[in-house]
Amino acid sequence: MALKVPRAGGPSLFKDGYKHLQGIEEAVLRNIQAVNELSDIVRTSFGPNGRNKMVVNHLGRIFVTSDAATIIREMEVVHPAAKLLVFASQQQEAEMGDATNFVLIFAGELLRQAELLISLGLHPTEIVQGYELARERALELLEDLSIATLSTPPTQESLALALRPALASKQYGHEDLLAPLVAQAVSLVLPPSSDSLRDFSVDNVRVVKIMGGSLAQSRVVRGMVFGREPEGSVKSVRSAKVAVFSCGLDISQTETKGTVLLHNAQELRNFSRGEERQLEQMLQEIADSGVKCVVTQSTVGELALHYLNRLGIMVMKIPSKFELQRLCRLLGATPLARIGAPMAEEAGFIDSASVTEIGGDRVTVFRQEEGEKGGKSCPRLATIVLRGATTSFLDDVERTIDDGINAVKSLTRDPRLVPGAGATEIELARKIVEYGERTPGLNQHAIRKFGEALHVIPRTLAETSGLDATELISRLHTQHAVPEHADIGVDVDQSADGTLSTVEAQIFDVLVAKHWALRYATNAAIDVLKVDSIIMSKPAGIKAPGRNPNWDED
């Protein structure tokens, strides 16, 4: 019997359940529409007057924020084309820690402009070539727009100046409180020499949120703060040697089960006394090594706590593995997996550890001053203690501080700053449109549309501030025609003409963050335009049974 071979093409090419969409109408324009929907969602959250989004994730947790990275992460986007933009924004978040919304908005606008060109008859390949030329030209022009440079080594004043715009874009009105706070915390942990500034780690600045009070009561602590008290009766130590254990402080359990026959109380006392003496001996060895503070990740037994209190040793329990690792970096300690006296290179040192009260909550503060501790050079850590009325507000401020710290991380790589408030985008748009007019061939249309797409940033700033966007962009173009006015941007405070000098207002953006945002956004838009066919297989798994409509009948 001959083997039947299905004919090529048609429904026999794929298994049952496959979907195959191809061509301009079905693939390209559908992808552009999906990306535009995603871009429109986060676009209204851009800038100081951006609107908040309320996102309820699959676990029922509520997020009220204007931070695009959080919105995208919790929305769980499933459309494959929109996911390309999500991946680009996530890479921007991982690389720079800020400007994720810029990537989404600009990539969406590039595709919106591409849709107009496709409707006029241009092929997506021609649009891609034009966008690639415009991207390279924009990155070249961006290098010449730097108008300020962060001082080296950075001071608290210069850090606060560079941080204010990044913080104002998320918490407008609180930037004057937050900028000095973050600048103080960062200056405490920055490496002392300018040559090692690239070694600055964002993990060295922590945030602890304590409900109550107002944001003005927030402060910076040199060291680490934990929202719990020590386990024992010893509440404070000074200039202490510290031992860190990743195991529990308790009598060890045997690996096998057994049965012991006891005849009288004396045998019972002797049976338990052996384990007690063994535990007491191990803890006595720890005390004899000079340890005044013990930190553990697991449980602390009542008997061990009794002996530690008698020996005058402070006991701190830190359940979080990541917090324990940070504390080990601060102390210069090595976490031990067995109970016993630490060797000299395994022990850590702390200047002071004490319990204090903040807003009715008792917290433990590990303070570490400068200099070597016990012959070790320990990294410096700082903690920002945030105060606020609601949990959602504290979470949003924490995300804002994280963006500010990442902005400092970017500035340690490249200290140059460019005009903010949309001034950079207007200047780039004007020069790229001129570049497009000088370019021969069909690529000039895509290059000009690239320049027009840059208008989306000042336009969005104007719209969220209640200004007339069309009139404002025309006014900005008129002023930017004069070379001395290349720093004129959008005034979100709605002054007389809606524009301001970003140099006088001290509003700057980080050049390297803008560089990577332009690159990632353009690459994501090009990737979407290069797709001409969508092939989807049938989803795996068994369909869950539906609810019985007659469930309430007898």
Lowest model confidence (mean pLDDT) among 78-92, 144-158, 210-224: 144-158
Task: Confirm whether 205 is domain-assigned.
Answer: no
Do residue 117 and residue 60 come from a single domain? yes
Task: Confirm whether 464 is domain-assigned.
Answer: yes
Q: Is the pLDDT of residue 312 over 50?
A: yes
Q: What is the predicted pLDDT for the residue at 114?
A: 86
Q: Closest Cα partner for 410 from 517, 326, 486?
A: 517
Task: Confirm whether 507 is domain-assigned.
Answer: yes
Do residue 243 and residue 114 come from a single domain? no
Three-state SS at 189: helix
Structure confidence by residue, pLDDT tens digits, 164-176 = 888 888 888 788 8
128 vs 255, higher pLDDT: 128
Do residue 61 and residue 22 come from a single domain? yes
Query: What count of other Cβ atoms lies within 10 Å of the Cβ of residue 531?
Result: 17
343 vs 551, higher pLDDT: 343
Task: Confirm whether 520 is domain-assigned.
Answer: yes
% pLDDT > 90, the chain: 0
Do residue 232 and residue 356 come from a single domain? yes
d(CA 512, CA 150): 13
For 318-347, where are the E strands, in sequence order? Answer: none
Question: What is the DSSP secondary-structure string of 249-275?
Answer: BSPPPPSS-------SHHHHHHHHHHH
Do residue 382 and residue 432 come from a single domain? no
Do residue 370 and residue 436 come from a single domain? no
Do residue 459 and residue 383 come from a single domain? no
Across residues 23-49, what is the average pLDDT?
80
260 vs 212, higher pLDDT: 212
Tell me the CATH number at 52.
Answer: 1.10.560.10
d(CA 205, CA 326): 10
Structural domain boundaries enclosing 291: 216-254+262-388
Q: What is the predicted pLDDT for the residue at 18?
A: 65
Q: What is the predicted pLDDT for the residue at 423?
A: 84
Strands 508-510 and 416-419: antiparallel
pTM for the structure as a whole: 0.79
Q: What is the predicted pLDDT for the residue at 163?
A: 83
d(CA 64, CA 45): 11
Do residue 530 and residue 490 come from a single domain? yes
Is the distance from CB of 507 to CB of 489 less than 8 angstroms?
yes
Three-state SS at 352: strand
Q: What is the predicted pLDDT for the residue at 150?
A: 78
Q: Is the pLDDT of residue 539 over 80?
A: no
Task: Confirm whether 291 is domain-assigned.
Answer: yes
Mean pLDDT of the chain: 79
Q: Closest Cα partner for 249 from 163, 311, 329?
A: 311
Contacts of 295 (CB under 8 A, 6+ apart): 242, 243, 244, 245, 316, 317, 318, 324, 327, 333
Q: Is the pLDDT of residue 3 over 60?
A: no
Structure confidence by residue, pLDDT tens digits, 441-496 = 888 888 888 888 888 888 888 888 877 778 888 888 788 877 777 777 787 776 65
Q: Is the pLDDT of residue 1 over 50?
A: no
Is the distance from CB of 174 to CB of 327 less than 8 angstroms?
no
Q: How many domains does the chain have?
A: 2
Q: Closest Cα partner for 379 from 131, 140, 101, 189?
A: 189
Q: What are 177's two structure tokens?
A: 């409180």
